[in-house]
Amino acid sequence: MASSSPSFQLNFAQLGGFRSLAAAIVFAVLYAVLSGWFIVSFARHQTRVTATLGIFSLARFAAFVIRAVMIEGKGATNLSMFIAVQVLFNVGFFALIGGTSEAIVVEMSKHSPEHRLPLEKAILQRQRFVRLALIAATALSIAATVKTSQGNLGPSTLSTVSAIIFVVVTGWVTLSAVVNLHNAETKGQKKMAIVLLVISLLLVARELFLAITVKNTRRRTNEAFWYPFSEVTCFLAVSGFVVVGIFKARAKKIKKEKGYDGSEVDQNQ
């Protein structure tokens, strides 16, 4: 008489360190609010930066909703949901770094050409390489996630290389932010440059945490570390763009009050 044993199902929620339902719900709500903000902003201005940040916020919102569903138990063993969460996190962060880099370049393009340093010119000319590096890092990170979901639980070369590329790219973006601040010509440009530098530093802090813990999966996915170093930094960074939006709206209002048409403020974004 043949006996049958219950098939083993891997709990992907536990594998990914998904523990706190409350935290997942809170972040889903926060990103729902930010998504609404960027959707309205895009409807008004239709800029690439706003569209990119809207994609980031929507991706984060969807990821935290799925994360909450998996934590509650529904879909905890669902491989497709686990991969979806990781893909949304990776694609979202790709959008956040890309949007930050684009915003810095837009601000740099407003500087007088005759005052530009060679490094600033180099930054303006190398945006394509930043995008290619981000695509490569994101693809490697997603591939590493798929490998993990197949039972390879240890650190992989794919995740290590991805982490290194992300650190290099965020470092380059931060350098761009420093140069942008150094060459800012007006009070308004300096305010914007400071905010963009703070955003860049938050992104570097996040990537350094992920790079340092790339070979320690347990610590990397531990929510006591993951939320403050990975997700709070991301949320503060994207919230910084709300501050940027307020600055621009205020600058546009001041120009109108002085009798100028401020429509060109966001024209290049």
Between the ranges 51-60, 186-195, 213-222, 245-254, where is the mean pLDDT highest? 51-60
pLDDT higher for 267 or 75?
75
- Would you state the pLDDT for residue 13? 87
Asked if the model's pLDDT at residue 148 lies above 80, the reply is no
- Structure tokens given for 122: 């180099």
pLDDT tens, 235-247?
Answer: 999 999 988 777 6
CB under 8 Å to 113, separation ≥6 — which residues?
none
Full-model pTM: 0.84
- Would you state the pLDDT for residue 251? 64
pLDDT, averaged across the chain? 84
pLDDT higher for 244 or 88?
88
CB under 8 Å to 257, separation ≥6 — which residues?
none
Q: Compute the distance between CA of residue 204 and CA of residue 13 in angstroms, rounded to an integer.
A: 27
- Would you state the pLDDT for residue 265? 42
Q: Tell me how far apart the terminal alpha carbons of the chain are, to the nearest angstrom.
A: 72
Q: Compute the distance between CA of residue 224 and CA of residue 228 in angstroms, rounded to an integer.
A: 7
Asked if the model's pLDDT at residue 149 lies above 60, the reply is yes
Q: What angle do CA 67, 141, 38 make, to 5 degrees?
A: 60
Q: Compute the distance between CA of residue 165 and CA of residue 262 in angstroms, rounded to an integer.
A: 39
- Would you state the pLDDT for residue 151? 58
Whole-Å CA distances, 40 to 26, 35, 241: 22, 9, 14
Query: Which has the closest alpha carbon to 175: 240, 99, 105?
Result: 105
CB 212 within 8 A of CB 70: no
- Would you state the pLDDT for residue 254? 64
- Would you state the pLDDT for residue 153? 52
pLDDT tens, 177-215?
Answer: 999 998 888 888 888 899 999 999 999 999 999 999 988
Q: Which amino acid is at 224?
A: A
